[in-house]
Amino acid sequence: MQSKVKIVGLDCPNCAISLQKELNKIDGVANAQIDFIKNSLVFDSENPEKALKDIKLLTKKLEPRAKITEGEKENKNKLNLLIDVAFLLVGVALGIVLFLCNMPVWLYWSLYTISALLLGWKTYLKAFRLLLKGIINENLLITISVIGASVISEHMEGLMVIALYTTGKIFENLAVNRSRRSIESLVRLQPEYANILVDGQEKKVKPEEVAIGNIIFVHAGEKVPLDGIILRGNVLVDNQSLTGESVPVQRGEGEEILSGGIVLDGTLEIKTTSEYKDSTVSKIMNLVENASENKSKTETFISKITRWYTLGVVVVALIVLGIVWIVTKDFQLALYRGLIFLVVSCPCAFAISVPLSYFSGLGNASKHGMLIKGSNFLDACAGLNKIAFDKTGTLTTGQFEIKKVQSFGGLNEEEIIYLSALGEQNSLHPLAKAITNSCKRKLQQVDNVHEIAGAGIEYSYNNDSYFVGRKDKNLKTTCIELYKNDIKIGQIELSDTVKESSKSACRGLKEMGIKTLLLSGDNSESVEKVAKEIGVDEAKSNLLPQDKYDYIKQCQEKGEKIGYVGDGINDAPSLTLASVGFSMGINGSPASIEASDVVIVDDNPEKIMSAIKISKYTRKIVWENIILSALVKIVVLSLGAAGVTGMLVAVFADVGVTLLAVLNSMRALKYKRFDKSTKKIKE
């Protein structure tokens, strides 16, 4: 059984990695994962209550200031920050006094010790606690550096190292917390209550308590708590948190409305069409909450390497010490050079900037209505060179209308529609919905219903066998055929319209060097018409779901990175197989949402292009941080080993590059270059 809780108070990603390793050693705890950026802890256990109790005990022992909580305690975090700042200021003040004033040796060492403890007590304590568990991390590197500087009488440098390190950690935490708050504000969609009538009076209840078919009221300034149909009212709705569109939309009687939007004026009376757990806002919250569980190869590699990196640094520092000692015959100088190596090699810049970059990119995509299920899929988007689209409901509106009804057995139009609707009444396909919505008679239940994949539905009615779907693959229009006892008795022709955004989406993808393709089960004439209107590079018609799947597989065997965009149940296999699967619409088929890697909330194909641009920008930032951190460390390490730079430059390099990497990572969250005319994301 999986459990998820908040864990707050961790100061660095390496602390999270070390704690996670120890938590997984607890009996009854498996697959414990700490997400430093999201302050979350996930673990598996057959006895969650006992496991959580053991986790809290071990966490308190290894990380005294970390807390397991149901919700983040902002006030406690602020208090901890104020304590850290107060200790830092007092420690620095004592250091200045030591530097400026003459005093007895006993007083000097007393104040020096007090100053060093105030500046770094938390670092030393963590280093000691983790060392007892056999864990070596950056806290130990800094502790050794301060002790070493004291031993070789570089007292001021020792204090400066811990003062600058602690200052850097404070600013680093402020930057990370700011990023956390920015991202959390993007997904803070969850409505707190729903208004229902009880004995003629409006009453606020939890959204989870509202059933399908209940009537709710939403007033100006309130969030829509559940999906539904508007019974009364005409208002402007702000859907920016859902779709990323800043312009409010008009919603009126008879229209569908999604949960999570904010009513800007007036009052709506809504009949709910889903329970809260199945509502749009709940689906979005779940997708965003679980996104960080799927990590990219780069993020996973950085996470794994930091476990051994610090131990490697200590070993290399000893080697540097030995070489310098042998060459110079000066142990104090050799120790000083080794300490420089320890300080500059702290892995925090790598460990925090990479996951923060991906987290920011995922948050930015969510803000603009693209729910990417993990940094691995964010990375995969950047590598796509071909995009295959389904047609109906993806590039077209999926809102079909009946153009023509033909009868071949003496039945009238109403009877053809009724018999077809009997078989289609439980189908989610857009053609089926168009037929059932056009039927004016009350539909009865039929027997022996059997779906034939990619063809249609068989059923029994009044002792006769019927088939509604498509058998004749040579028909050149979008239509549904009706058979009675294997004899064709009717045909319904339908029409669909192309989304305006489909044209600009294909055009934008081509400009990015990505080939576009249309894969459809419809007849060649309708597919070619849509392909020409939209401007895709290639189109294939009369395809069964298996044919689409096979085509994607062939592309991958050629080494192509192909994405697939669809919205129906029959798209699920292709969505799963593709390098990246894009499902259209948060209220689309549950199977397609589950199978996809990216969910486009508002059915807008242009968001495919936007997701790829955000992914490329995020990956660029990730590699900027890795290269910058590595380059600075290599240069300072080389200069330090050669005696050109001292320990202060080393700590400036470590703290400075970490802060730069964190600030650079936040650019992925703020990336939103828009074209002034179209308001679409640009590179």
Encode pLDDT of 169-200 as tens digits. 787 677 667 666 655 555 556 678 899 988 77
Does any domain span residue 82? no
Q: What whole-number percentage of the chain has pLDDT above 90?
A: 16
Instruction: Decide if 427 is inside a domain.
Output: yes
Other CB atoms within a 10 A radius of the CB of residue 492 amount to: 25
Position 362 in a domain: no
Structural domains counted in the chain: 3
Q: What share of the chain in percent tops pLDDT 70?
A: 86
pLDDT of residue 425: 86
DSSP 71: S
**How would residue 514 be classed by pLDDT, with cut points 50, 70 and 90?**
very high
The H helix count followed by the E strand count for the chain is 22, 26
What is the mean predicted confidence (pLDDT) over 353-357?
79
Q: Does the pLDDT at position 20 exceed 50? A: yes
Instruction: Label residue 308 exposed, middle or buried (CB < 10 Å: 0-12, 13-18, 19+).
Output: exposed
In the 8-state DSSP scheme, what is residue 598? E
CATH code of 487's domain: 3.40.1110.10
Residue 188, in any domain of the structure? no
**CA dihedral defined by 424, 428, 432, 437, rounded to 10 degrees?**
100
Please report which confidence band the pLDDT of residue 620 belongs to, taking 50, 70 and 90 as the band edges: very high
CATH code at position 257: 2.70.150.10
Residue 195's φ and ψ, nearest 5 degrees, are -95, 120
Q: Does residue 238 register a pLDDT over 80?
A: yes
The per-residue pLDDT for 73 is 47
pLDDT at position 297 is 62
Indicate whether 490 belongs to any domain: yes
Which is higher by pLDDT, 216 or 177? 216
Q: Answer whether residue 301 is part of any domain.
A: no
Confidence of residue 287 (pLDDT cuts 50, 70, 90): low
Residue 564 predicted with pLDDT over 90: yes
Q: What is the model's pLDDT at position 676?
A: 38
Contacts of 254 (CB under 8 A, 6+ apart): 229, 230
Please check whether residue 621 is in contact with residue 668, taking contact to mean a CB–CB distance below 8 angstroms: yes
**Other C-beta atoms within 10 Å of 456: how many?**
26
* Stretch 262-279: mean pLDDT: 88
Domain span at 217: 211-274
Q: What is the model's pLDDT at position 571?
A: 81
Please say which residue of 461, 495, 529 terminates a domain: 495
Query: What pLDDT sits at residue 117?
Result: 92
The pLDDT confidence band at residue 375, using thresholds 50, 70 and 90, is: confident
For residues 611 and 598, give the distance between their C-alpha atoms in angstroms, rounded to a whole number: 9
**CB-based burial, 377-398: b 16+ in 10 Å, e otherwise:** bbbbbbebebbbbbbbbbbbbb
CATH number at residue 63: 3.30.70.100
Greater pLDDT, 232 or 69: 232
Q: Please report whether residue 610 resides in a domain.
A: no
Q: Is 410 helix (H, G, I), strand (E, B) or coil?
A: coil
Alpha carbon separation from 166 to 69, 89, 160, 163, 478 (Å, rounded): 26, 11, 10, 5, 68
| Residue whose C-alpha is closest to residue 432's, from 444, 440, 420, 442 | 420
- 651 touches 346 (CB < 8 A): no
Q: Is the pLDDT confidence value at 242 over 70?
A: no
Which among 249, 274, 299 is the end of a domain? 274
Residues recognised as catalytic:
390
Better-scored residue on pLDDT, 475 or 262: 262
Residue 369 domain flag: no
Q: Lowest mean pLDDT: which of 43-52, 528-537, 673-682?
A: 673-682
pLDDT at site 677: 35
CA distances from 199 to 192, 195, 196, 202, 203 (A): 22, 13, 10, 8, 9
- Please report, to the nearest 10 degrees, the dihedral formed by the alpha carbons of residues 245, 250, 254, 260 taken in order: 40
User: b/e string for 542-576 if b means 16 or more Cβ within 10 A?
Assistant: bbebeebbebbeebeeeeebbbbbbbbbbbbbbbb
Q: Which of 41, 72, 103 is the last residue of a domain?
A: 72
The single-letter DSSP state of residue 276 is G
| Average pLDDT rounded to a whole number, residues 248-272 | 87
Length of the chain: 683
- C-beta of residue 517 within 8 angstroms of C-beta of residue 388: yes
